[in-house]
Every structure is written in structure tokens, then in C-alpha cells.
Amino acid sequence: MADREALPEFHGVCRAPFGWIAVAVKDEAVREIRILEQAPERTGNPEPLAETVCRALQDWFDGGDWPQKIPVKPAGTAYQKKVWQALLQIPPGETLTYGELARQLDTAPRAIGGACRRNPVPLLIPCHRVVAANGDGGFAGHTAGHWMDIKRWLLSHE
């Protein structure tokens, strides 16, 4: 996400309705997606998978189907990966509250929020589909401003 240190390499860059998306791949899987407000420069060699991700996201932004079957392999703890795997099971257009997902995984809502905040592959691992019991919750560690506008756009688009 935009608040983390710079990616060593962006292998694909594409425009989104809410900014720009930079894609990093390694070993035939997406490792990280950054949502940025300004156009970044591609810093790595173009990779076919990154280009596929950009085309799939552009198609989805234009009203096509949700991108599926794109291999993702984010770095994280075993717990984070368990939560991220559960996020992949939430269908487009549906949401779960932090509490509902916590009950499914026998954990705490705050821990779910922490794993969502650390999701290095937003959009493809749809953390935006997790909401608070009484509102939108957060997105990328933010509860107001541009990031929440992005979350609301994503939920509305689905």
C-alpha cells in the first residue's frame, strides 16, 4: 500500500478510477499491489503476469467480471495468510463484518482488522469486503479520507 516503503520493482502499472495501481510479481505470483495517487514509474522489467493483472483489473473497472484465478503469494504470518484466504471466499458484491469473519475463524475482530490492514495484495485479496458492524470500517489502515473513498467506490462498483 502507499504507506509502506518503496517497492524494489514494479512490473506493471495501470490506471484505476481512484488513482494508479503498481503490481509486483515474483515466481509467477502477485506479491504486492500498491494503490497510489500519482502515476509511478515502472522500475522493473515488464512481466506477463503483471500485464495480465492490469488488463484484468481494467476490464473489471470497465464493468467486466471480477479478476479470478490470478495467482497471489503475499508475504505474511501464518495467521495473516489464514485471514487472507478467508477474504478470497467472500464473493464480489457481498460483505462480512469484522465480527462475522472473526467468528468464522475463531479469533477477534481487531485481529481481523490488523490482518486486513497488512494485506499486501488489495483488490485481488478483497479486504474491502470486510466492514464494521456499524459502518464501513477501515481500508489500508485508514478510517477517513481518500482511502475510505476508494473502499466505498470498490463496494459500490461491485
For 89-106, what is the mean pLDDT? 97
| pLDDT at residue number 43 | 72
Cα–Cα distance for residue pair 8/133, rounded to 1 Å:
37
| pLDDT at residue number 42 | 65
Read off the C-alpha cell for 112. Answer: 481481523
Percentage of the chain surpassing pLDDT 90? 80
The pTM of the whole model exceeds 0.85: yes
Q: Is 116 a catalytic residue?
A: no
Annotated active-site residue in 14, 54, 116, 127: 127
Read off the C-alpha cell for 128. Answer: 474491502
Q: How far is CA 48 from CA 27, 42, 77, in A?
A: 12, 14, 28
For 11-16, what is the mean pLDDT? 92
Cα–Cα distance for residue pair 132/35, rounded to 1 Å:
22
Per-residue confidence band for 1, with pLDDT thresholds at 50, 70 and 90? very low
